[in-house]
Amino acid sequence: MINFRVVAAGALVLALTTVPALARRSPIVHLSPANISALGLKIISARTHTLHARRTLYGDFTLPPDTEAVVTPRIRGRVTALYATVGAAVRRGAPLARIQSLLVGNPPPSVVVHAPMSGVVETRPAVLGEAVAPGTLLYRLMKPHRLWLKAYVYQQDVAVVYRGQQARIRALGIAIPLSGRVVMVAPRINPRRGAETIWIALDHPQATLRPALFARASVTVASARQVAVPSDAVVAVGTGHAVFVAIGGDRFRYTPVTVGIREHGYCGVSGLKAGARVVTQGNAELYTLWMTGGKLKADS
C-alpha cells in the first residue's frame, strides 16, 4: 500500500507501508524460459569464505623509540676533525669528531667524540673550526631500517582498532605491499587532528623506506568464515536486504538475509545456506516482478 502524507506546504512524503503486504505475499516468483532469457538472469552458487573487515588509515613513516641518537661534546672547545658524512653508516664506538679543548697546553688537550649507537648519519650540523660547548649538536644518528608507520584512527573507528591487529601497507613509490602489526596505540585523542595515533611495525623492514614517506594501511579489525555471495546478488529492501534463490526451473525464492562483512566484491550473509544458487544479474527486475504480483505467463 502507498500512502501520501502532507508534511509542509507543497511537500509530499511517500510512505511505503510495505511490511504487512510483504508478509502476506508468496516468496516465490515464477518465470517462463522466455522471461528468464529476456531478463538476462545470471546465477551463481553461494560459497563459504573467510572474510575480513578492514579500516583504511593514512600516515607516514617515522623512527620508533630508541632508534635515533644525538651526538654532543662534553667539553668546551673547537671542532678540529669530523670523521663521518651525512648518509654514512657508523658502528657504535666509532670516532665521529675531535674537539680541541680551550685549556692551555702544548699541544692543547683534545677529546674524540664517539658514536653512541650503530646507525646512519642523518644530519651533521657541526663544521670544522666551530666553537662548541656541552650540548652543541654535532651529529644526529638513526636506524633507518626499523621504521614504523605512524597512522591516524578517526573517532568512529577507535573502538575497533587496537594493538596486535595485522595490517597491509602501501607506501608511496614502493611497488610491493608490506605487512605489519599494530604495536602501539596512543592513550588519548590528538586534539589537533581529532584522531587517535597508532604505530605499525613492519614484519620485514625495507631499506628503501624513508622517514616521512606517505603510506596507506589497511588494518584487519575482524575476520569471520561466512556464507558469501557477490555484492550484486544482494537487493536493498527498505532497511534490510534480500537475495533471490533459484529453486528449480522457473522458480525463484525471495529470501531475506542479514549482511555481514563486505570484501573484494563479496559480502557475508546469514539466512542463506552454502550451495544456494543466487541471482546476481536481473535480481532488481525480479524484485519488481515480485512486488507487482510475481507470477508471469509464458507469453507475457
163 and 136 both lie in a single domain: no
Handedness of CA 46, 52, 57, 62 (dihedral sign): negative
Looking at residue 27, what is its pLDDT?
85
Instruction: For residues 228 and 261, give the distance between their C-alpha atoms in angstroms, rounded to a whole number.
Output: 9
Q: Are 252 and 28 in contact (CB under 8 A)?
A: yes
Longest dimension (CA), the chain: 115
| CATH number for the domain that contains residue 157 | 2.40.30.170
59 and 182 both lie in a single domain: yes
Inside any domain, residue 299: no
Min mean pLDDT across 35-44, 73-82, 108-117, 257-266 is at 35-44
167 and 287 both lie in a single domain: no
Give 247-267 pLDDT, tens digit per residue: 987 889 999 999 999 998 999
59 and 160 both lie in a single domain: yes
Residue partners of 258: CB distance under 8 A and separation at least 6: 240, 241, 269, 270, 271
- 0.85 exceeded by pTM: no
Last residue of a domain, one of 224, 242, 259: 224
Handedness of CA 196, 197, 199, 200 (dihedral sign): positive
Last residue of a domain, one of 224, 257, 274: 224
60 and 168 both lie in a single domain: yes
95 and 114 both lie in a single domain: yes
Inside any domain, residue 277: yes
60 and 155 both lie in a single domain: yes
Q: Is 286 helix (H, G, I), strand (E, B) or coil?
A: helix
Inside any domain, residue 14: no
Inside any domain, residue 188: yes
Inside any domain, residue 186: yes
Looking at residue 90, what is its pLDDT?
97
Last residue of a domain, one of 106, 122, 142: 142
167 and 279 both lie in a single domain: no
Instruction: For residues 160 and 226, give the distance between their C-alpha atoms in angstroms, rounded to a whole number.
Output: 20
60 and 152 both lie in a single domain: yes
Residue partners of 32: CB distance under 8 A and separation at least 6: 250, 296, 297, 298, 299, 300
Inside any domain, residue 85: yes
| CATH number for the domain that contains residue 287 | 2.40.420.20
153 and 60 both lie in a single domain: yes
Residues 294-300: what's their mean pLDDT?
A: 45
Domain that holds residue 86: 68-142
| CATH number for the domain that contains residue 137 | 2.40.50.100
Looking at residue 24, what is its pLDDT?
59
- Report how many domains make up the chain: 3
Inside any domain, residue 10: no
Give 3-38 pLDDT, tens digit per residue: 434 334 343 333 334 444 555 578 888 887 877 778
Give 90-101 pLDDT, tens digit per residue: 999 999 999 999
Inside any domain, residue 93: yes
282 and 164 both lie in a single domain: no
60 and 150 both lie in a single domain: yes
